[in-house]
Structure 1
Amino acid sequence: MKEPTFSMTDISSLAASTDAVILVGGKGTRLRPLTNSIPKPMLPVAGYPFLQHLLARIRAAGMTHVVLGTSFKAEVFEEFFGDGSELGLEIEYVVEDEPLGTGGGIRNVYDHLRHDRVMVFNGDVLGGTDLNAVLQTHVDHDAEVTLHLLQVADPRAFGCVPTDADGRVSAFLEKTEDPPTDQINAGCYVFQREIIAEIPAGKPVSVEREVFPALLDRGARVFGHVDQAYWRDLGTPADFVRGSSDLVRGIAPSPLVDGRHGESLVDPSAAVAGGALLLGGTVVGRGTEIGGGARVDTSVVLDGVVIEAGATVERCVIAAGARIGARAHLCDAVIGEGAVIGARCELNGGARVWPGVQIPDGGLRFSSDI
């Protein structure tokens, strides 16, 4: 029987009777060395672990039961979030001993589900779609699976998901130079629980390449919820920095930073000297010191960092305990924990410095006029 349409007054009951599942098992190799010791979803973004922003959005939508599908450094998640009660949530943890892929990861949490409807999130994605609207679309169409589909200006770099006039998904297409639609898979799904039960257990399965095409082949009710909401995969340093900046500036939504938007987000314990410029949605962590005349633009500066006088840091991630010397210039770089970049050094264009590495004063210059 088709479920009734929910009004705004009872939409919270729709969310409350939906499980939230977040897949956070990846190793985050594209963000190394930041992820050498920290799972990607636990990296600080706009002053909080990235995953906490997603959990806050889930709670704001009205969902309260969350299952995390973990693998790499699984213990870190439970140590930080515990049972979720401080966030107004009930959080359970399910560990993959071997990588199971997206479909296998969803199937792996099946025994922990409480409801007949499950909303699945990719733990790498910073999104802004209306979660209640996605749930409403699912119920309105009596769907077995609903996908959040994003309209993008250039879909050629993505697999495309066309839908018919009723919103029913008609195909899953690989990347092509001539895509028939601007709709791409945004990595957020609503499943009826019985569909998850059909995924083979204990083996790697791709939900995109195996589960969804098989559902279409058998005529299952698979629908799309299409919008143009904020969306960014934080898998690369450039996207990680941009996502953090967008949160600080209010371009990307998060209940955790509501009312605190601006050009920078500075922890109260940080020390910023006179004449220093913080721009572009820069984040400055606990106990960090920024010297006079330094310029930090569109960057993520974590805890206990020292940026000396006159240094320039643009579109960078500076990990905890690192030191950037006076008049050093860093652009599009990732600096690992405890690393030291000497005075007057110059690092550009994707440079990555591993934790603990020390570059002496004037020891490295990389620029077009060297």
Structure 2
Amino acid sequence: MAGTEARADAVILVGGKGTRLRPLTVGTPKPMLPTAGAPFLTHLLARIRDAGLTHVVLGTSYRAEVFEEHFGDGSELGLEIDYVVESEPLGTGGAIRNIASALRHDTVMVFNGDVLGGTDLGAILDTHESAAADVTLHLVRVADPRAYGCVPTDADGRVLEFLEKTQDPPTDQINAGCYVFRREVIEAIPEGRAISVEREIFPALLERGAAVHGHVDHSYWRDMGTPADFVRGSSDLVRGIAPSPLLAGRHGEALVDESASVGGGALLYGGSVVGRGAEIGAGARLDQTVVFDGVRIGAGAVVERSIIAEGATIGPRAVIRDAVIGEGADIGARCEFIGGARVWPGVAIPDGGVRFSTDV
């Protein structure tokens, strides 16, 4: 969008520990996990760049150094990236206040760093400007809003209230974790203490009559916080259901790095991803699975809706279904891990050592 670069800073909150994705996040921040061929955060940065925003501030905390080591000043992505470290947990509001000194513009677009989205970022900024809003929230309409906080709006798009999870929600509009602030609103947030935008800042703004608006759409949206959502989000990127500039023209049933090897008769589908130097044995079957770099999967193994971390080995005829296998783990032949099983890094399981069915 022409001229957008002069309109806003982009701020991405990436300080969380990603505990729901352990053991994948034991040593790696969640936004840096390989997702459809690149660290997850890279897909969001590419969307920000394509929307015309060029200055990005990363609000980091857990393993903060990993982000700067990978992205540097952002020039390889056509961006200027600054880093602000949060030394103690400050909540969403405190994290946003913590980056105020790095801002350059009067309009600030804030992203939750673990959300995979597909909305038109320029359209949200347009809504914010045309409404002369103090804060604009991206609201997504979902089929079942009961698991989320709901945000009803009036006919003019003004936010009426913020509702906690309820079994009888009055609207299908949920908070999608993307906000546009006037800079003065951020600078008015109390400094140096933990504070929640959803529970404290936004309700307080409504109470004093501030202009809080919603930008409502049906765009793609997924919180990537659990293994099941991580796998589904990666698959949706590969298949083109979720948009990413990084994958333009490369959509399909699988995304296989050119340095990986795939044996004869192996089947890869469901938006599966195979990382650098990985080896997939003859007759193996991968469905909606994320295979990190350097993984070896034996002949005839079946891996479905699972994440196999870097350097792990899956033995011949093993079955891995809805599971997470940690970095460098060694799963023996004919083992079975299903239904939410998680294997920690470096653990070795002997051939046939864990099964959920009789050994035939």
Say yes or no: TM over 0.5.
Answer: yes
User: 1:13 deviation in Å?
Assistant: 1.1
- Structure 2 counterpart of 1:307, which letter? I
**Hey, what's the Cα distance between the residues in 2 that align with 1:15 and 1:149?**
23
Equivalent position to 1:93, from 64, 69, 83: 83
Superposed, which structure 2 residues align to 1:11-30 within 5 Å?
Answer: 11-30=1-20
Is contact 2:308-2:325 (8 Å) kept? yes
- Structure 1 counterpart of 2:227, which letter? P
Equivalent position to 2:131, from 131, 141, 152: 141
SS in 1 for 2:355: coil
Q: For residue 279 of structure 2, what is the aligned residue in structure 1? A: 289
User: 1:366 deviation in Å?
Assistant: 1.8
Shift of the 357–116 alpha-carbon distance from structure 1 to 2, 3 Å rule, reads same
**Hey, what's the Cα distance between the residues in 1 that align with 2:206 and 2:299?**
60
**Hey, what's the Cα distance between the residues in 1 that align with 2:101 and 2:165?**
35
- TM-score norm. by structure 1 comes to 0.96
**Hey, what's the Cα distance between the residues in 2 that align with 1:36 and 1:210?**
31
The alignment status of 1:68 with 2:52, answered yes or no, reads: no
Q: For residue 218 of structure 2, what is the aligned residue in structure 1? A: 228
Superposed, which structure 2 residues align to 1:139-218 within 5 Å?
Answer: 139-218=129-208
**Hey, what's the Cα distance between the residues in 1 that align with 2:155 and 2:213?**
11
Q: For residue 300 of structure 2, what is the aligned residue in structure 1? A: 310
User: 1:17 deviation in Å?
Assistant: 2.3
Give a deviation string over 1:213-236, Cα, whole Å, max 9, x none. 000000000000000100000000
Give a deviation string over 1:229-260, Cα, whole Å, max 9, x none. 00000000000000000000000000000100
Moved over 2 A (4+): 14-17, 367-370
Superposed, which structure 2 residues align to 1:35-114 within 5 Å?
Answer: 35-114=25-104
SS in 2 for 1:330: strand
User: 1:175 deviation in Å?
Assistant: 1.1
Superposed, which structure 2 residues align to 1:344-359 within 5 Å?
Answer: 344-359=334-349
Q: For residue 126 of structure 1, what is the aligned residue in structure 2? A: 116
**Hey, what's the Cα distance between the residues in 2 that align with 1:156 and 1:139?**
31
Is contact 1:15-1:132 (8 Å) kept? no
Is contact 1:71-1:96 (8 Å) kept? yes
Q: For residue 328 of structure 1, what is the aligned residue in structure 2? A: 318
Is contact 2:6-2:105 (8 Å) kept? no
Give a deviation string over 1:89-115, Cα, whole Å, max 9, x none. 000000000010000000000000000
The alignment status of 1:339 with 2:329, answered yes or no, reads: yes
Shift of the 369–154 alpha-carbon distance from structure 1 to 2, 3 Å rule, reads farther
Aligned length: 360
SS in 2 for 1:77: helix
Q: For residue 246 of structure 2, what is the aligned residue in structure 1? A: 256
**Hey, what's the Cα distance between the residues in 2 that align with 1:314 and 1:369?**
20
Which consecutive unaligned segments of at least 5 residues does structure 2 have? Answer: none
**Hey, what's the Cα distance between the residues in 1 that align with 2:238 and 2:110?**
26
Is contact 1:320-1:337 (8 Å) kept? yes
**Hey, what's the Cα distance between the residues in 2 that align with 1:369 and 1:311?**
15
User: 1:12 deviation in Å?
Assistant: 2.5
SS in 2 for 1:180: coil
The alignment status of 1:243 with 2:233, answered yes or no, reads: yes
Superposition RMSD in Å: 1.1
Is contact 2:273-2:291 (8 Å) kept? yes
